[in-house]
Structure 1
Amino acid sequence: MEDQEKYTEALVKLHSGLARQGPGDASFTDYIIDRLPELPPSPRIADIGCGAGAGTLILAKKYRSKVKAVDFSKTFLDQMMHQARLEGLEDLIEPIACDMGNLDWEPGTIDLLWSEGAAYTITVEKALKVWRPLMAADGIVVISEMTYFSNPAPEAVAQYMTGLYPGIKTEAGNVDLINASGFQVLAAHRLPSKAWWDNYYNPLRKNIMKLKDTTDSVMQTVISDTEEEMQFFKEYQSDYGYTFFIMRAI
């Protein structure tokens, strides 16, 4: 457990200062928002696993409504609120440092739940189970989840995923899981691979260069794992990536 905590701390340090802690794109977020069903006036919004708030800030600007922004890392939440103050959005964002799988909110109080690349940390199945009671009638959930685009996936990809993300499914597999979890899938959209490079991996490389000469063995391991991940995605980006699933609570 101590080793895992040190690894997580190094991972947070490596990602500190970045606008995104995972693949994503502002214009693609707008694309998804434009395809959501109409929400109530002043919708009650939550961004779960928000990181430094790239999605949170967009949601706050778009809906001009309060956003509960949840992440385990106070470092990322502080970074988000600094940016929120710069953009005059601090009154629209409520930072919450806690476990995304243990939210003690009133049932039926969220109209839009957003979660990019985060549900996997507790598994999508558990995330949907614990988040479902929070949703208002006909509430909308958007999650992005790493999925296989190829079916079957190449052997090299399947083998690599046993270490990176053993819970990965095909898009059809995720649709079946969602539809069996108290939700109805309305649409699924793949995040373009360009968003991985432009908004995540390339900025992350700059942080890697700053920390490359570290004598911290844990950070060295994190950097090595991250560089391996980048190289693997470069080779197999047509076989897997993130899919945004839009769903309605039923």
Structure 2
Amino acid sequence: MYRISQLAEKAKLSRSTLLYYEKQGLLDGTRQANGYRRYSDKDVQRLHLLQQLQAGGLTLQECKSCLAGKVERSLLEQRLRQLDEDIAQKQQARTLLAALLGEGSLRPWHQQTDKLAPDAHLDWLKLQGFNEKQALHLKWLSKDMNEHDQYMADFMTVFQTLTRWAPGSDADSLKALSLLPSTPQNIIDIGCGKGFSTRLLAQHTKAQIVAVDNEQSALDELGKRLAEQALDSRVTLSCTSMTALPFSPSSFDCVWAEGSAYIMGVEQALTQWRPLLKEGGYMVLSDLVWLTDSPSDEAVAFWQGEYPDMQTVEKRLTHMRQAGFAVIDHFTVSQTAWSDYYQPLKARVAQLIPSMPNSTAIADLTREIAIYERYLGEFGYHMFVLHKET
């Protein structure tokens, strides 16, 4: 016979645990005349059996049922399903922790986090040591902070020799300009890149223009081209973030943003950039949109990863009206705008594949080109010409 302290030692359990088991009817000691409990070898073995059942993930009450009679198969099946779910969750947690330590890809996590909490995700990336430019590139391009530096190096290797960095054409930009009721005198071109629209605006207006981008190399190239065309006197180059523009309210009578508003979110861009406009000012922006209400599953899956906030034209028009703009006109950019971008890109990727066979950036661009070739028409860039309402 064993005292409770001796039983606790043999079973490697605490005295309070044994008292709790006894209260739950899992253990039945004999109380002696002196008030002390005594336990037998049978009680020791019952505890060992209880521990073996618990090792299968059974609760105390389930163990009690198993000790009292025949084990119910349905109970074990239910517990097995629950255990499989727990294992899957813990494996998912382990995969994430390993990835955060650099032992795996963080792409799925970044994509899901950016979809659920884009602003919080951006702020968190900055806390991890990325500046805003790097964080935005990570959100939209590399999607993996462990591989970001290599990804961006490969990405810039692809694009450094290309003229256009996004779909667009002079004809579409000039069409949008012609739809403005009056010619603007002060224009800010946000996300200008290498400055195709900037140069067109300088050529076809007499406006003072501020060209904004966070990629200094693109601005440097734009500056050279403007100088060559003697257009530099009316254009100021500003390497700054589109999310924190250092300009006073009512500084411009036109905000121009081709293919760039998505970086900070179109709705946020409409709200943040509107105060820059004088009363009655104009905004011209283009955005990637769905052109059908029933796009192909493959196209949807691809753009859900690349541009989760992609909307239909009607949805974007609603956003613009809600932000305080009247819609002057809108149109889908031409096929030329796409081919002028993708044909040189496709040739450049094909040229680099032999020397960069394992590049994630090259693989991403290859998938994007394939989606463009298969499904263009289900989606496209759309130009919106807007008027600031008072």
How does the TM-score come out when normalised to structure 1?
0.92
**Aligned-residue CA RMSD (Å):** 1.7
Structure possessing the higher relative contact order (Cα contacts under 8 Å, 6 or more residues apart): 1
Q: CA deviation at 1:166?
A: 0.6
Specify the alignment match of 1:248 in structure 2: 387
Name the amino acid aligned to 1:245: F
Specify the alignment match of 1:45 in structure 2: 187
Q: SS of 1:28's equivalent?
A: helix
Superposed, 1:123-202 pairs within 5 Å as 123-197=265-339, 199-202=340-343
Structure 1 stretches of 4+ moved >6 Å: none
Specify the alignment match of 1:96 in structure 2: 238
CA distance in 1 between partners of 2:378 and 2:162 (Å): 26
Q: Which has the higher strand share?
A: 1
Note the residue ranges of structure 2 that are not aligned, 5 or more in a row. Answer: 1-144
Specify the alignment match of 2:349 in structure 1: 208
Q: SS of 1:136's equivalent?
A: strand
Q: CA deviation at 1:149?
A: 0.2
Specify the alignment match of 1:236 in structure 2: 375
1:224 to 363, 368, 374: 363
CA distance in 2 between partners of 1:13 and 1:97 (Å): 21
Q: Which has the higher helix share?
A: 2
Q: SS of 2:294's equivalent?
A: coil
Contact 1:60-1:67 within 8 A present in 2 as well: yes
Specify the alignment match of 2:202 in structure 1: 60
Specify the alignment match of 1:10 in structure 2: 154
Give the number of aligned pairs.
245
CA distance in 2 between partners of 1:75 and 1:88 (Å): 20
Note the residue ranges of structure 1 that are not aligned, 5 or more in a row. Answer: none
Name the amino acid aligned to 2:231: L
Aligned CA distance change for structure 1 residues 141 and 154 (closer, same or farther; 3 Å): same
Contact 2:356-2:362 within 8 A present in 1 as well: no
How does the TM-score come out when normalised to structure 2?
0.60
Specify the alignment match of 1:113 in structure 2: 255
Identity over the aligned pairs, expressed in percent?
A: 27
Name the amino acid aligned to 1:243: H
CA distance in 2 between partners of 1:153 and 1:165 (Å): 15
- Deviation sequence 1:96-127 (CA, Å, 0-9, x none): 11111110201011111111111101110111
Q: SS of 1:79's equivalent?
A: helix
CA distance in 2 between partners of 1:45 and 1:17 (Å): 28
Which structure has the bigger radius of gyration? 2
CA distance in 2 between partners of 1:180 and 1:70 (Å): 26
CA distance in 1 between partners of 2:369 and 2:280 (Å): 38
Specify the alignment match of 2:179 in structure 1: 35
Aligned CA distance change for structure 1 residues 82 and 226 (closer, same or farther; 3 Å): same
Q: CA deviation at 1:14?
A: 2.0
Q: CA deviation at 1:209?
A: 4.1
